[in-house]
Chain A
Amino acid sequence: MNMAPLVDGSLVVLILAVAIWTIAVRDSFAAVVGYAIYGLMLALAWVRLAAIDAALTEAAIGGGLTGVLLIRAAVRLRPTESVVAGDSPAWFVKALAAVLAGAVSLALAVVVLTLPEPAPTLAPQVAEHIASTGLGNAVTAVLLAFRATDTLLEAVVLVFALIAVWSLAPDRFWGGRPGQHYHLEANGMLAYLARLLPPLGIVVAIYVFWVGADLPGGKFQAGTLLAAMWLLAIMAGLTDVPEVRLVWVRIALVTGSAVFLVIGFAGVPFAGAFLAYPEGYAKPLILIIEAASMLSIAVTLALLVLGPPERRGQS
């Protein structure tokens, strides 16, 4: 009894329907909520494609954090909605855009249908070398051993993006606290959740990080979870976001990449190449890099969601 095509088919139809709705609906707030739903359904698609690590990352970052980011923006931009909507293009522009976008989709569809058989893959090579990394999760091995430079550069991307976001602060608030001040409603639901969930979330995050060496998981997913817990505490008013000029904030941002670089350079005398791991020490070193990166990722992601500094000191 093969239900699979039915499940996949329904999932695809749902995904496309929500995507089209997101584009077409008038109200931007509704579109953004639709996008968050879309992100979660996309995570299901990833599960169907047997890519659990990607599913976790998509659910956490693609659906979760991106959703939070866009919803906060949509709320703030509500007053400008109708003004800008008036700039909507003429019908023939829309028609032309639809035709062209359709042509691109068609070309892609043809390419997808004619992908070569048998499919070229690097799985055999990964299987051959994974033993030397001591890891059980092939994706983690690719991320932190075989293509470690990509991961290093991606950590740098996060820092650069945050620096760029900070550059948007008004001069007088430079180095101050991002986002607004959230008032604590001591008996409110949000405060209750913010007291209940973070300890759980931290434990789950550490578990996801630890188990990511051999099973789906790893520092990105764990870091995102930590970031979400921190954001929850901030938005409930239990704690306030620190001023970004503080040295410990800066150090927290940089630590992941710094540890990565140090271990990478240590690989030169001990293992013969930058970002190579000495025999037998690969797994502990990788876990150290992941731990440091997890913390940096958590701080960076949370600060990216909160935006540029908007207030100073106590306010």
Chain B
Amino acid sequence: MSALATLIPETTTAGGFLLVLALVLPLAGVFAALILGGCNARRVAMLTIPLGLALAVAIGVELVQTGQTVIYLLGGWAPPLGIALRADGLSAAMLLTTTVVLLGVALFARDDFETPENLREARAPFMFWTLLMAVWGALNAVFLAGDLFTLYVALELLTFAGVPLVSLEGHSETLRAALRYLLFALLGSVLYMLGAVLLYGAYGTLDIAILAERVRPGMLCFAAGALMTVGLLAKTALFPLHLWLPPAHAGAPAAASAVLSALVVKGSWFLVVRLWFDVMPGVVTFSAAQLLGGLGSAAIVVGSVVALRQERLKLLVAYSTMAQIGYLFLMFPLAFDVSGNGPVHGFALAGGLLQVISHATAKAGMFMAAGLIYAALGHDRIADLAGVARAMPITVLAFALAGLALMGVVPSGAYLAKKLLLDAADGSGQWWWTIVLQGGAVFTAGYVVLVLASVLRRRSDPLLLVSRVSRLSELVALALSAGSLLLALAALGPVPGEFVSSPFAPKEMGVLLVVFLGGSLLASGLSRRSLLGAAGANAGVMRRIAAGVGESFELADGVIRRWQFASISLLMLAILFGGALVWGAPPS
């Protein structure tokens, strides 16, 4: 999806009022929930989210019909004095994805967060539904606001809505995870604001479109760019700044984890894209983009290996999120062309966007499935999941499809995204990213195979289910996972059809086989105990070496996730990015 033309000078476009409605609707929902009280919070959410979906579709339709960015000048004041709301293809796609996933989460959690009969209001149910709408409102503000300071306020809204979702259960460990999340996120946002003040000092505006015209490479822009990028990376939990993510996403209730992994972390990612592609395209350099991509690759490798080492399913899925976030940053170096110019709105951006949408839907489905397994069994120890496939076929199918979708099996969105990114890599001659893109699937397959092998094992005695899970919840999880797996078919409109080959073509089957084999090898070698039995034929020395490798990854992750290490890494990254910006432009 290429950038759509903006009208200059700017005026409010025809469908612009839709943007105002999209911004205000969730906020009105939160207020209504506050006033109407407890048991009505769920009703308000169930009412407003489908309305929001309709709004998002309407905005998309408006965008496609007019072929231009939808703009609304708030208060009638044009930037730089006033603030504008802008929706381009990127915003519209994110708005739509957000409402779809939220709808799924709302249906999934409908029975889990029901206010008890005898109470007018209970804490957890009231909080869940209100926070759901709060996250939604914050995200809409992030996707639509066209001013860097308004985006700062929106980021804070997002943090304030996401943190209590982590500590919803109230146990000490979730409270601790929430506090770490909050403090690190606050550090990120204050660095972002620091960059914004520098930009205002130099250019007298914080409006994205106007800054895009005025920004020039220079010490100030390099400092601002480095600080804002690193601040946003801290909020997105990109390696090595992921200290808060695994305990936070694993400790939250399943529906909350789905929202946190699928949506909340995407807000700050979105701002990195806006910053690099729209505000500072002439300032960000090839080297800086390589650094981003490098961090992303490290995230994929470390996250996947540590995921393999987990004993609990929810922690495995949380580390999987950390790994998948790495994928989201591979698009940055690939948006540069052969001569080092960029970033351009081309296939790489489209690939990155598809990556985000497929990850959001698949990860939501995966967390939902994991949550259902936990609810049914009363635990989520991976080693003791034998027989689950027989007892909960729909849930396991949802998990499997989500895993396949994340691995990039045809015709998932991740597959198409990978194809687009590979095309960009070929076009710009950056062959090393081809290796990462192709190899990453093997790492993802590792932990998917691990879980599937565990649940597919037979059990001698019948499995004891602690409670029955709602059929609706299972179907929602399945729908989201299947949706991610079939996403490439839906995206075929704007993208050339030759990118998607048939799933049964020999080449695709061959790749799939290799990926599965590689994944199984990884899983059998690196996981805590050899759950694959005879399949892991490398016993003895090899097994011990592999186990040692796995252990050292886990230890390293433990060190990286200490507060001092992570915050010092953050500062070093800021300096590294600064340096990459100052010296990074290739001679051309």
Contacts and interface: CB of A to CB of B under 8 A. Distances in A.
Given A110-B219, A149-B150, A174-B122, A156 B137 contact: yes
B568 A157 contact: no
B164 interface: yes
B122 A171 contact: yes
A5 to B, nearest CB: 22
A266 B571 CA distance: 47
B121 A274 contact: no
Interface stretch (B151-159, B400-408, B464-472, B516-524): B151-159
Given A114-B220, A164-B161, A250 B37 contact: yes
B406 to A, nearest CB: 31
A171 B124 contact: yes
A228 interface: no
Contacts of A116: 201-202
Contact of B219 (A97, A111, A163, A166): A111
Contacts, number: 170
A120 interface: yes
Interface stretch (A25-33, A98-106, A215-223): A98-106
A117 to B, nearest CB: 11
Contacts of A267: 75
A276 B16 CA distance: 15
Interface stretch (B25-33, B350-358, B386-394, B412-420): B25-33
A163 B154 CA distance: 16
B545 interface: no
Interface residues of B, number: 68
Nearest to A94: B564
A148 B75 contact: yes
Contact of B153 (A119, A129, A150, A261): A150
Contacts of A50: none
A6 interface: no
Nearest to A160: B160
Contact of B130 (A97, A163, A276): A163
Interface stretch (A52-60, A186-194, A198-206, A251-259): A251-259
Contact of B20 (A97, A168, A274): A274
A104 B74 contact: no
A261 B73 CA distance: 16
Main SS of chain B's interface residues?
helix
B75 A274 contact: yes
Contacts of A275: 74-75
Given A114-B219, A257-B31, A149 B75 contact: yes
B34 A261 contact: no
A156 B156 CA distance: 10
A271 B30 CA distance: 27
Contact of B37 (A129, A245, A254, A261): A245
Nearest to A129: B81
Interface in B133-171: 134, 137-138, 141, 145, 147, 149-150, 153-154, 156-157, 160-161, 163-164, 167-168, 170
A147 B35 CA distance: 27
B476 interface: no
Interface string A151-174: 001101101110110111111001
Interface string B156-197: 110011011001101000010000000000000000001000
Interface string B29-70: 011001101000000000000000000000000000000000
A101 B35 contact: no
Interface in B549-588: 564, 567-568, 571-572, 574-575, 578
A103 B575 contact: yes
B182 to A, nearest CB: 9
A258 B28 CA distance: 8
A273 interface: yes
A96 interface: yes
A125 interface: yes
Interface string A107-151: 110110011100111100110010000000000000001111110
The 6 closest A-B pairs by CB, nearest first: A120-B204, A100-B571, A273-B76, A174-B123, A167-B164, A276-B76
14 contacts: A108-B223, A114-B219, A120-B205, A122-B204, A145-B75, A146-B77, A148-B75, A150-B149, A161-B160, A164-B164, A171-B123, A171-B124, A174-B121, A275-B74
Given A97-B567, A164-B164, A276-B77, 16 more contacts: A104-B571, A114-B220, A146-B75, A146-B82, A156-B157, A159-B31, A163-B127, A163-B160, A164-B163, A167-B123, A167-B164, A247-B35, A250-B35, A254-B35, A273-B12, A273-B74
Interface of A: 89, 93, 96-97, 100-101, 103-104, 107-108, 110-111, 114-116, 119-122, 125-126, 129, 145-150, 153-154, 156-157, 159-161, 163-164, 166-171, 174-175, 245, 247, 250-251, 253-254, 257-258, 261, 267-268, 271-277
